[in-house]
Structure 1
Amino acid sequence: MALLALLEDETDLREELEAHLSASGHTVLTAGSIADFELAAAGARLDIAIIDRGLPDGDGIAVAESLRRNSPTTGIILLTARGSVDDKIAGLQGGADHYLVKPVKLPELSAHVAALLRRLPAGWRLVAHECCLYAPDNAKLVLSNREFDFLALLARGGSRVVTRREVVEAFGEDWFSYDLRRLDTLVSRLRRRCREEAGHELPIRTEHGRGYLTAELIESV
């Protein structure tokens, strides 16, 4: 699974590509203009962006250049009707990893996406709209709402220790009456589920007497 952004102004093609990529297991953010793309992708850690060039509010190369500056690990595929050698050179020099000329076969596009994903760095990702945690190898752990809230709080804390009191109060509970054994059980169960269902140790470290912190970066998507 990867987080993809698709910037294509032709509605039918955009919907076809989105359906195909979603069926392949990816999460796809879509936009029909540069302005909509910037809004949809704001704050997201994109794995791959698939970008048309001829857009109603500009050239997709400008989007590729901006992405390459601001998000150097994002893979970029330009998918466009402009197929001259000069166009391809401009696209690749502008930051694209791959330059595909329309019409493109869907399996070919999938192959390019897969090729990019094989070499892109990956990490732990907390995906809000799926309420899931993804391991670096894309193994998926479906979370309860409380498990998600716990991990989201720690992800926001970064390398800082998040105290047990902070966790309890983030749950909307009263610190003085809350039974901390409930929190211990939640964390223990989450560790076990991560091992059994995702095949990884949960990237959370317990600081005894203090609280919890992330042992590895968890990015919120």
Structure 2
Amino acid sequence: MKLLLVEDETDLLTEMEEYLSQQDYRCEKASTFATAEEKISLYDYECIVLDISLPDGNGLRLLDLIRKHHPSTGILIVSAKDSLRDKLEGLNLGADDYITKPFHLEELNARVNALIRRKVFKGNARIDVDGLCILTEAQEVYYEDRLINVTRKEYQLLLYFVINQNRVVSRQSIAEHIWGDHFDLADNYDSVYVHVNNLRKKIQIATGKDLIKSVYGVGYKWMRAS
């Protein structure tokens, strides 16, 4: 799952990124209103952790932008303000949850996890699609009770395809989803091809179905089995 962390406190931002990355989230960072605004306009995220107080703007103003571009994205407001008014204002503007500083990173992770399950997976910890059973908490994939051994990136890819069923996803969008801000480290899309091809083969061997189709010159598409 891909997260955007919007926070102007450098140490806290680093701590959140390191901790949530260890929980297998792909994290991108923004420490200013302007940076957050640019990222929200350009990229998709499953969840945005949003600080209200930013040095160059009010984080609440970003809520309208998020809801305009990404109506299904989960929004968790983070603020040092512990007033009912601030909380209600954020929730009324479209936030899904609210956490007050200081907080434990374990609590932040639990809230992000619950929010994603509720928004993306409709509250389910289990996803059934085309005979596959995906256990989101254990991060395991089964077919007819047989475990399919997938790598971490293959698991992230599988979820991305399932979320975008019957849509063509470009190689660039896959790369941004899997590598996030670190995508520039890759010289080309060879890594995308390798990971997609490996996942495709594992699913085909396990199920006998070729569910990931190549779309020439564009990317890939998860095709529901008939």
- Interval of TM-score (by shorter of Structure 1 and Structure 2): 0.5 to 0.7
Structure 2 unaligned residues grouped into runs of 5+: 122-126, 128-151, 163-168, 175-188, 190-195
Inter-CA distance 137–30: structure 2 relative to 1 (3 Å threshold)? closer
Q: In the alignment, is the contact (CA less than 8 A) between 2:50 and 2:77 conserved in 1?
A: yes
Deviations 1:28-60 (A, max 9, x none): 110111111123344322000001111011111
Partner of 2:221: 214
Partner of 1:135: 158
In the TM superposition, what is the alpha-carbon distance from 1:193 to its structure 2 partner?
Answer: 2.7
Inter-CA distance 155–30: structure 2 relative to 1 (3 Å threshold)? closer
Q: In the alignment, is the contact (CA less than 8 A) between 1:135 and 1:200 conserved in 2?
A: no
- In the alignment, does 2:212 pair up with 1:204? yes
- 1:205 and 1:34 map into 2 onto residues whose CA distance is 39
- In the alignment, does 2:121 pair up with 1:112? no
Find runs of 4+ consecutive structure 1 residues off by over 3 angstroms: 130-133, 151-156, 187-191, 194-197, 199-207
Q: In the alignment, is the contact (CA less than 8 A) between 1:30 and 1:40 conserved in 2?
A: no
Deviations 1:81-124 (A, max 9, x none): 1110111100101111001110011111111011011122369x
Secondary structure at the counterpart of residue 25 of structure 1: coil
Alignment RMSD: 3.7
Partner of 2:10: 11
Q: In the alignment, is the contact (CA less than 8 A) between 1:154 and 1:214 conserved in 2?
A: no
- 2:65 and 2:109 map into 1 onto residues whose CA distance is 24
In the TM superposition, what is the alpha-carbon distance from 1:191 to its structure 2 partner?
Answer: 3.2
Q: In the alignment, is the contact (CA less than 8 A) between 1:10 and 1:32 conserved in 2?
A: yes
Inter-CA distance 22–131: structure 2 relative to 1 (3 Å threshold)? closer
Inter-CA distance 155–12: structure 2 relative to 1 (3 Å threshold)? closer
- 1:154 and 1:17 map into 2 onto residues whose CA distance is 26
Partner of 2:148: none
Q: In the alignment, is the contact (CA less than 8 A) between 1:7 and 1:52 conserved in 2?
A: yes
- In the alignment, does 2:61 pair up with 1:62? yes
In the TM superposition, what is the alpha-carbon distance from 1:131 to its structure 2 partner?
Answer: 7.7
In the TM superposition, what is the alpha-carbon distance from 1:66 to its structure 2 partner?
Answer: 1.5
Inter-CA distance 202–134: structure 2 relative to 1 (3 Å threshold)? farther
Deviations 1:164-183 (A, max 9, x none): xxxxxxx9xxxxxxxxxxxx
Partner of 2:200: 191
- 2:75 and 2:102 map into 1 onto residues whose CA distance is 18
In the TM superposition, what is the alpha-carbon distance from 1:136 to its structure 2 partner?
Answer: 2.7
Q: Percent identity?
A: 31
In the TM superposition, what is the alpha-carbon distance from 1:188 to its structure 2 partner?
Answer: 8.3
5 Å matches for 1:87-166? Answer: 87-121=86-120, 134-136=157-159, 152=170
Secondary structure at the counterpart of residue 6 of structure 1: strand
Inter-CA distance 63–191: structure 2 relative to 1 (3 Å threshold)? same
Q: In the alignment, is the contact (CA less than 8 A) between 1:64 and 1:96 conserved in 2?
A: yes
Partner of 2:23: 24
Structure 1 unaligned residues grouped into runs of 5+: 124-129, 140-150, 157-170, 172-186
- In the alignment, does 2:42 pair up with 1:43? yes
Secondary structure at the counterpart of residue 134 of structure 1: helix
In the TM superposition, what is the alpha-carbon distance from 1:73 to its structure 2 partner?
Answer: 0.8
Q: In the alignment, is the contact (CA less than 8 A) between 2:5 and 2:13 conserved in 1?
A: yes
- 1:154 and 1:30 map into 2 onto residues whose CA distance is 19
- 1:63 and 1:17 map into 2 onto residues whose CA distance is 20
- 2:10 and 2:172 map into 1 onto residues whose CA distance is 39
